[in-house]
């Protein structure tokens, strides 16, 4: 609880310094605070600190480029790129998708800033109509996979809270689908790898029980 409160207080102070930019430009404050957070996270492994540092770093780089070019959309692109990179490094799909969405949003805002948005909007309308006319086959659903995947997410969140770890330190996102598809104990034992051997018994019980649930 104190960790989350400390992070919240940090962000209140950081936002004030960035918006009012005493002594230094806002982007410089963002970069300085990002370096501070990332160094502290490297030493103490505090949950939430790495994500905050990456956000500030991406925003700081984007804001510096925005000040130089006058394109404020680069702030969104900077944050999105940083989250995208963090998602790839940690194997978390959620961070990758969020980062990609911010990059795309920044790109669209940038098109408005340079006056090219109307032409892009027309292309999007044409592409949308083409997809609607073309249609497509509905995607198949796998209720068993979804049930096992949800169980894994809940178990991972619980373990992270118990151990004071990030969820990706318990199981990375890239590993969840493989485990959810594992049909026997041998496959469950192979998937996590030797560095997560301590979780095998619990994972086997969790997933094999899920197979028996109607």
What pLDDT digit, counting tens, does each position of 121-176 carry? 777 788 778 777 665 444 444 677 888 888 888 888 888 888 888 887 888 888 88
What is the C-alpha separation between 48 and 53, in angstroms, rounded?
9
Task: Classify residue 26: in a domain, yes or no.
Answer: yes
Considering the domain architecture, whether residues 54 and 104 belong to the same structural domain is answered as: yes
Name the domain count of the chain.
2
Considering the domain architecture, whether residues 30 and 79 belong to the same structural domain is answered as: yes
Our measurement of the distance from residue 206's CA atom to the centroid of its chain's CA atoms, rounded to an integer in Å, reads: 26
pTM of the model: 0.56
Assign residue 209 a region: left if phi > 0, alpha if psi is -120 to 50, beta otherwise? alpha
Question: Is the separation of the CB atoms in 57 and 80 below 8 Å?
Answer: no
What is the C-alpha separation between 84 and 82, in angstroms, rounded?
5
By the 10 Å C-beta count (0-12 exposed, 13-18 middle, 19+ buried), 62 is classed as buried
Residue-range definition of the domain harbouring residue 8:
2-116
């Amino acid at each position: 609880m104190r960790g989350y409160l400390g992070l919240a207080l940090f962000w209140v102070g950081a936002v004030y310094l960035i918006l009012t930019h005493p002594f230094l430009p806002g982007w410089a404050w963002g970069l300085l605070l990002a370096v501070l957070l990332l160094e502290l996270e490297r030493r103490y492994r505090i949950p939430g600190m790495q994500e905050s540092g990456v956000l500030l770093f991406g925003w700081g780089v984007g804001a510096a480029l925005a000040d130089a070019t006058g394109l404020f959309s680069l702030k969104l692109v900077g944050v999105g790129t940083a989250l995208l990179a963090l998602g790839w490094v940690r194997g978390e799909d959620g961070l990758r998708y969020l980062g990609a969405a911010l990059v795309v949003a920044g790109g669209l805002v940038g098109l408005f800033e340079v006056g090219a948005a109307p032409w892009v909007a027309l292309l999007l309308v044409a592409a949308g109509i083409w997809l609607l006319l073309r249609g497509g086959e509905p995607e198949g659903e796998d209720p068993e996979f979804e049930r096992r995947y949800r169980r894994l997410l809940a178990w991972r969140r619980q373990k992270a809270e118990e151990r004071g770890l990030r969820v990706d330190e318990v199981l990375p996102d890239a590993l969840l689908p493989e485990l959810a598809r594992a049909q026997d104990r041998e496959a469950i034992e192979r998937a996590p790898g030797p560095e997560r051997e301590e979780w095998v018994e619990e994972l086997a019980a969790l997933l094999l029980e899920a197979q028996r649930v109607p």
